[in-house]
Chain A
């Protein structure tokens, strides 16, 4: 744990450092620092080297200068000795000439040589002296045997001389004169070497008594300046080794590398000085170069780093983007995988996940949950009528309404088509579910604006509850589905809670559906017949073929129980074809047997009606049976007709051209096409069965029926009522129906055999 605590900040720091916005500036800073530290160090080293070499050179020059001055002084001493010797040997007037011839005297180009008598009179051959020797000086020499070196009082003329004097003695040691050698002062600084000492170097010959005999600063030679000798030599005077120092020169105030040596055996010292500024100038220039170069390199490095930084930032950005894109893509894919593209609701697989999660939660928390299956009624119709875009808009709107109607915690999903599902994760009672279901039904039922028109859509809801109606996903969904199916059967726009007897029904339905496919092949379908009775006069005015399924275990099954399944399985067209053929065949037989001219009505279901081969089917059915077309009446539901009124009119015209009669069924409810009635080539109008049960005198339906009847009559159509089930209903209809109503269908289908017998008995009655 402690280790963890230790390593974490390190890791964090390492991560932080590798981030570009820290890494690169840090890198730039480090590189710059290293560069400048290097530059400073280089300059330092160079400065030190320059200083050391200047100090060493000063020492070396001093030692050389010392040697040179010493040699010259020794030569001058030697000259004095020669003069003394000659003085002892020669006649005095000849001395100088003789010495000159023998080249024992220094060159007259630079030296003035004179010999003075005790009174100061010069001997023949003596040069004219720059500084005449006075009596006091002579007196001094009479007293002392020392070599005297005199410099003039400070002047700067270029022809200054230093005067060397020595007493001359005879054999007895008496004072007999003074030998004088004057040397051009510049001579003592003529070893000045510009190539090594620059333009501002210093050479000096200093008297220990405090007079600068001669000194040269650059090109300027000065003789005879006063100077504090002790102060000047402080720290420099050493017999053993030459010392050099950097200090301000007392001669001109210049900062110099100075070195000096006291001369052995003479009251003199030599000093050499190099100007610090001058000695450092090349180094200074180099330092400037280093700095300039450093600055340039630094700038380039910074540019490169900046460029790298930018590139890396771009790279990082693009990487980040790539990662973000990948994530977004993955999220998108996940979203797409789990959501319905149209409505954005969870799809079947996510719903399945959510449901199992919620079931698990319910198991843990011991709570109930509710599952609702919701299916839109007549959605198909809207889709087909207004187009898929409108259908999509409707689905979106429904989704939105469902979301709005439910709580945040509730789940809405779309399973596809017009099937929605709702999970109420926690419910306490079934009443709660009922409340929610009612709310949903109300919400969905509000009118929609689609393609610029108002439409109403209703919903059927099936509800199953955990744990009561199932403890697992599969069971719950199955049961909710069963309940929904029941709600649809109950007349739609309603909800149904699951119960176990529904289950039995659904099992039966499933059994039916599974057998439905083989029903045609195994010839299990059969037709039954409803007679059309005349209201005006008792008697049969027609017959209608209705479909029944002779199920091996369940007996006769009415279409209401399998029609929807058959439609879903795409069996309506083949079954419809079979019906047409069968009806035509049987009817032809009866007609042939009885000589009657009854018309047989067969209902055309939606897929059959809109099928492209409808005419061909009818023609072949008539032809196969040998039935005249006027004996066939095809019946189409008003709602089917209304799905595509323009197309319907074309189809009806074609049917009319065939010569068959056309009946409009289930008329007067829902989607009334009374306005279109004029343009429809219809022979018969079948009023919906709901009219039969609502024929009381003061009733809206009745008025409506009256209106329809009047209109139909005026258009030359026959009006028939549908769905008379009992004798009392029949009596009532006879008594109360409108004048226009011509007849009705008895809702008591009979077998082909029974009907055949009925016809024959009628035949017998008639004959």
Chain B
């Protein structure tokens, strides 16, 4: 009896968490020629391994603050790296002088502003924050 109630409680809790986790989308400037990118390409951009959006446009990845929900979800679902690995990765990149981490801005709004204003910028925001200033990229596998 006690077990069943325990189970029921845990199921409810997980549903709540799920509904609370908003969907993150990857965005570029609205007039960008790029419409879709593969997840691995996006991951490579955010890990400093690829400096181009497509063949020609130099890319400027934009990160949200550490600990923000968007950042957590983006790295979890799109890049597929945990924070510690990302940190270790950038440690090495910076220490060996091979690159610097994405620019960090404070919020979805700041991301949109930055993305809309620079053709090579790419960022991620909550799906709810999308407006006409940015274009949501289709994520190919």
Contact = CB atoms under 8 A, between A and B. Distances in A.
A317 interface: no
Given A72-B95, A107-B100, A190 B66 contact: no
The A interface is mostly helix, strand or loop, or mixed, namely loop
Interface stretch (A12-20, A181-189, A623-631): A181-189
A108 B90 CA distance: 11
A109 interface: yes
A325 interface: no
Interface residues of B, number: 16
Interface in B82-132: 84, 86-88, 90-92, 94-97, 100-101, 103-104
A72 B95 CA distance: 7
A103 interface: yes
A187 B91 contact: yes
B104 A191 contact: no
Nearest to B103: A103
A396 B104 CA distance: 132
A121 interface: no
B101 A109 contact: yes
Contact of B91 (A103, A108, A110): A110
A190 B95 CA distance: 7
Contacts of A106: 94
Interface in A98-138: 103, 106-110
Interface string B42-78: 0000000000000000000000001000000000000
A156 to B, nearest CB: 16
A83 B66 CA distance: 23
A68 B97 contact: yes
Contact of A186 (B66, B91, B97, B103): B91
B130 to A, nearest CB: 25
Contacts of A191: 92, 95-96
Given A68-B97, A71-B97, A184-B87, A109 B66 contact: yes
Interface string A34-72: 000000000000000000000000000000000010011
Query: Which of B66, B90, B96 has most chain A Cβ within 10 Å?
Result: B96
B87 A110 contact: yes
B92 A190 contact: yes
Contacts of A71: 97
Contacts of B103: 103
B95 A188 contact: yes
Contacts of B92: 190-191
A107 B95 contact: no
A187 B95 contact: yes
Interface in A261-302: none
Given A108-B66, A109-B66, A190 B101 contact: no
A158 B87 CA distance: 11
Specify the main secondary structure of chain B where it touches its partner: helix
Contacts of B100: 107
A107 B91 CA distance: 10
Contacts of A190: 88, 91-92, 95-96
A109 B87 contact: yes
Given A103-B103, A108-B104, A110-B90, A68 B66 contact: no
Contacts of A110: 87, 90-91, 94
Most chain B beta-carbon contacts within 10 A, residue among A72, A110, A188 = A110
A186 B90 contact: no
A576 B128 CA distance: 163
Contact of A107 (B84, B96, B104): B104
A186 B101 contact: no
A108 B100 CA distance: 11
A190 B84 CA distance: 13
Interface string A179-221: 0000010111011000000000000000000000000000000
B9 to A, nearest CB: 34
Contacts of A107: 90, 94, 100-101, 104
Nearest to B100: A107
Contacts of B97: 68, 71
A68 B95 contact: yes
A212 to B, nearest CB: 18
Contacts of B96: 68, 190-191
Contacts of B104: 107-109
A184 B95 contact: no
A106 B88 CA distance: 15
Most buried by A among B91, B101, B104: B91
Nearest to B95: A190
Nearest to A188: B95
B91 A184 contact: yes
Contacts of B90: 107, 109-110
Nearest to A192: B92
A618 B17 CA distance: 159
A360 to B, nearest CB: 113
A60 to B, nearest CB: 15
A158 B83 CA distance: 13
Interface in B10-41: none
Contacts of A68: 95-97
Nearest to A110: B91
B81 to A, nearest CB: 13
A188 B91 CA distance: 8
Nearest to A103: B103
A187 B94 contact: yes
A103 B63 CA distance: 14
Interface in A143-190: 158, 184, 186-188, 190
A110 B104 CA distance: 13
Given A107-B100, A108-B104, A186 B94 contact: no
Contacts of A108: 66, 104
Nearest to B63: A109
Contacts of A103: 103
Nearest to A108: B104
Contacts of A158: 84
A72 B97 CA distance: 9
Contacts of B86: 109
A750 to B, nearest CB: 158
A67 B88 CA distance: 20
A190 B103 CA distance: 21
A514 to B, nearest CB: 134
B132 to A, nearest CB: 26
A79 B86 CA distance: 24
23 contacts: A106-B94, A107-B90, A107-B94, A107-B100, A107-B104, A108-B104, A109-B66, A109-B86, A109-B101, A109-B104, A110-B87, A110-B90, A110-B91, A184-B87, A187-B91, A187-B94, A187-B95, A190-B91, A190-B92, A190-B95, A190-B96, A191-B95, A191-B96
Interface of A: 68, 71-72, 103, 106-110, 158, 184, 186-188, 190-191
Question: Which A-B residue pairs are the 4 nearest by beta carbons?
Answer: A190-B91, A190-B92, A187-B91, A190-B95
Given A68-B97, A71-B97, A106-B94, 18 more contacts: A68-B95, A72-B94, A107-B94, A107-B101, A109-B86, A109-B87, A109-B101, A110-B90, A110-B94, A158-B84, A184-B87, A186-B91, A187-B91, A190-B92, A190-B95, A190-B96, A191-B92, A191-B95
